[in-house]
Amino acid sequence: MTKGWFVTGTDTEIGKTTFSTLLLDYLVKKDYLVTGFKPVASGASWQNNELVNQDVQELQRHSNANLKLSQINPYCFEPAIAPHIAAMGSHTVIHLDHIKRVYEEAAKQVDYVVVEGAGGILVPLHEDLLTLDLCATLSLPVIIVVGMRLGCINHALLTEKVILSSGLTVLGWVANQINPEMPYYQENITTLNRLMTSPMLAEIPYQDSEKKEILWIKEQSIFDI
């Protein structure tokens, strides 16, 4: 049974954590028991003998299931570099079956899991293993966060195409206004609405403050899993 979503994006630093935490807030408000989950994280610091990644901490903070960091983040690497290079550097092999086991253990304890991928959909995890393969292993519907900036149409279409061509489900995409001065923002959204196969699910306006809010979310489609 599907118990969540796999959140990917058009690139790194385009709002996957931002959207994932907003989705968690939204679900918590609806009284669901939820947790965030980050299968692979790179860029972490030591705290109380544990490697802690900021995204994982953020996801944990917006979850109401009170799972430990190790229960929502099977692989964590210290350097903020491509995950497969970080894994090699620490002589670790990323195993999908390990991620699946940890994921299933977490999923058992909640109504929904919001999974945030590292970087974009073709980020390698180990030699020829890609984030896309992880998506397939967890068999969750995918949400693509589109960081609205020049080039995003190409990146959004490529991302959707590669996911669909591997037989996975794209639930939809989210417009995240990361650049407050993007010229022709609305025209870009109109074009994405025309060219993307999947529907627009939500819109996050640019917000300077740390606490962000969703402008709107298409509830019916989000739960269409």
Q: Does the footprint of ligand ATP cover residue 25 (CB under 6 A)?
A: no
Q: Which among 178, 170, 179, 177 is positioned nearest to 201, based on CA atoms? A: 170
For residue 177, state whether it binds ligand ATP (rule: CB under 6 A): yes
By CB under 6 A, is residue 14 in contact with ligand ATP? yes
Tell me which residues in 55-74 interact with ligand ATP (CB under 6 A). Answer: 55
DSSP helix, strand, coil percent of the chain (3-state; round to 5) = 35, 25, 40
Residues 206, 180: contact at Cβ < 8 Å?
yes
Closest CB 31 distance from ligand ATP, rounded Å = 25
Q: Alpha-carbon distance 184 to 146, whole Å?
A: 15
Name the binder of 14 from ligand ATP, Mg ion, none, CB < 5-8 A by kind. Answer: ligand ATP
CA distance 9 to 11: 5
Distance separating alpha carbons of residues 213 and 19, to the nearest angstrom: 9
Structure tokens at 25: 């807030």
**56: CB partners within 8 A, 6+ apart:** 36, 38, 41, 69, 72, 73, 76
Catalytic, out of 16, 30, 38, 100: 38
Q: Which does 206 bind (CB under 5 to 8 A by kind): Mg ion, ligand ATP, none?
A: ligand ATP
9 in contact with ligand ATP (CB under 6 A): yes
With binding defined as CB under 6 A, does residue 143 bind ligand ATP? no
Q: Is 16 in the site for Mg ion (CB under 5 A)?
A: yes
DSSP letter assigned to residue 214:
-
Q: Considering only residues 64, 129, 206, 225, which one is a binding residue for ligand ATP as defined by CB under 6 A?
A: 206
Binding residues (CB under 5 A) for Mg ion: these are 16-17, 55
Binding residues (CB under 6 A) for ligand ATP: these are 9, 12-18, 55, 119, 176-178, 204, 206-207, 212
